[in-house]
Amino acid sequence: MKTFYYNLQLCRNKSIEIQIEFSWTEYRLANEWFRFNIGTRTRQDHGGFYFDFCFMRIFVVMVTFYDARHWDYTNDCWENYD
């Protein structure tokens, strides 16, 4: 499997992460032509927007736009590091 990974900090608390994977060994296990997911993660560590695309388990692209802070479950808000 070959993996390309890139992470870029956009501003103080926001980052984007891109991951691309190629795997020819998974081709024989492919039982789906493609898959596309889109969603959000809220009120948890590194919450944000994400999507991924998979083609026959050979080619996978995952993109996440997330908050780098951690969620304070006691106070129900983002932790403040200042």
Residue 46: pLDDT band with limits 50, 70, 90: confident
Residue 52: pLDDT band with limits 50, 70, 90: very high
Residue 9: pLDDT band with limits 50, 70, 90: very high
**What is the average per-residue pLDDT within 65-82?**
84
What DSSP state is assigned to residue 56? T
Q: What is the pTM of this model?
A: 0.76
- Cα–Cα distance measured from residue 63 to residue 7, given in angstroms and rounded to the nearest whole number: 10
